Amino acid sequence: MNFKLIKNPMGDDDTRAAYNALASETFGLSFEDWYQGGYFDGSHIPYTVFDDGKAVANISVNLMDVEYAGTVKKYIQLGTVMTKAEYRGKGLQRQIFNEIIKDFSGKFDTMFLFANKTVTEFYPKLGFEKAVEYSFEKNITPQTATVKKLDMSKTEDVQFFREYYEKGNSFSGFEVKNGFALEMFYLGGPYSENVFYIEKYDATVVAETDGNTVTCLDIFGGQEYSAEEIMSAFGCEKLVMGFTPKDSTGFDIQPINDEDTVLFVYSG
């Protein structure tokens, strides 16, 4: 075995293809369309271990500016954590993580990641602590309003969405700033069918509906209205917030016990 750690393999066609192959094998994901769409701006930094040209392990650093209580902080979300099956147990994840800490020590305020139950014993060994997430739910009154789905494969719809993204999510207690590139990975891929424009409330929304429940993942624009008013346009009677709302008045707040998405925060 001939291990080599490459920081940010995205700029080279061969190493990017190998990175995408590992992501596809592990998660069914590919970053190629996102890269070719021009969204690679340096906010997504894979740290990838290669063995003779084959990507075998990775942790990606996602850089975010997050505004909380009027102050912007530097956040790092670690993601795309993966190791090819036959290379597990060789200490590659620890090697990658140590390199990330060396490169970013003193350059972030908070580092976090989400993990499933199979690895919850591993991350405390790297200095992470399990944190509690909360759900925010509220009954709402359905309203009549036109909800238009945006086609995120069309340049004009992406540009239209971007204009609203730049207005910010004023409803979030932890608002990500200047994160359009990372946003587009999700909206160009797994959530491409979940982007909507509601003219009545002058807002774009990323949302999912399930029966009589609507889950709000993001709202951009619509500052003159409440989140409840905007989300009532989907005709549902129950609202679930997919982020921590700035104003949680009237919400039923409960701890989340989901073993497949456990939040860990780095404490050193």
Domain ranges of the chain: 3-115, 136-253
Q: With a cut of 80, say whether residue 268 has pLDDT above it.
A: no
Which fold is adopted by the domain 3-115? Aminopeptidase (3.40.630)
Task: Give the count of alpha carbons within 13 A of 10, CB side only.
Answer: 21
Q: What pLDDT does residue 257 have? A: 86
Same fold, 3-115 and 136-253: yes
Q: What pLDDT does residue 120 have? A: 84
CA distance 61 to 55: 16
Q: What pLDDT does residue 1 have? A: 73
Q: Tokens 């912007």, residue?
A: 72
Under CATH, which architecture does the 136-253 domain have? 3-Layer(aba) Sandwich (3.40)
Q: What pLDDT does residue 227 have? A: 97
Q: For residue 248, count CB atoms less than 10 angstroms from its CB and return exposed for 0-12, middle for 13-18, buried for 19 or more.
A: middle
According to DSSP H, which parts of the chain are helical? Answer: 13-27, 32-36, 92-104, 155-165, 180-187, 227-231
135-156 pLDDT, tens digit per residue, is 999 999 999 899 999 999 999 9
Q: Residue 72 corresponds to which tokens in the numbers above?
A: 């912007």
Q: What pLDDT does residue 2 have? A: 83
Q: Residue 226 corresponds to which tokens in the numbers above?
A: 């409440």
